[in-house]
Amino acid sequence: MADLADDDIPTLSADVLALVNECRREQEERERAAVGGQQMPEEDWQLSQFWYSEETAVRLCDEIAAVCEDLPGDHATVALLATPTLLPHFKKLEGFRSGRLRVMLFENDARFGTIHPDEFVQYDYKAPLDEKCGLI
């Protein structure tokens, strides 16, 4: 077998290498973001889920909670549609812990039903009016 010259060894371009490193950082961030001792499932690109960075998730949850505080009544309900990375951040908020803020995750990925059974609603975005979810 012939020896490969250094020029023959495949390498990644700087752009591709940066993307690979970003994916690795995101994976490490998800592993550190365990909620209640449970790890977040890995992102499934086939399920049309919306995953946010830690900073974005915290900001979105804080903004939504602030809007809910100004609503009339003694509690508000927030529906998260295919946004599983937001739910753990809502659960850390005082409004959620006190019961003033209720959050429901409408998600097709049943893995989240085992982690968040009280907030999980099985939802298929391809059949949005399907009465199986029990909330229509």
- In a 13 Å sphere around the CA of 86, the CA atoms on its Cβ side amount to 24
pLDDT tens by residue, 27-78:
777 656 554 555 666 665 555 566 788 899 899 999 999 999 989 988 999 9
Q: Is the pTM of this model over 0.75?
A: no
> Whole-angstrom Cα distance, residue 30 to residue 39?
8
CA quadruple 54, 55, 56, 60: dihedral, nearest 10 = 100
* Alpha helices (H) along 8-93: 14-32, 54-69, 87-91
The two tokens of residue 92 are: 């850390």
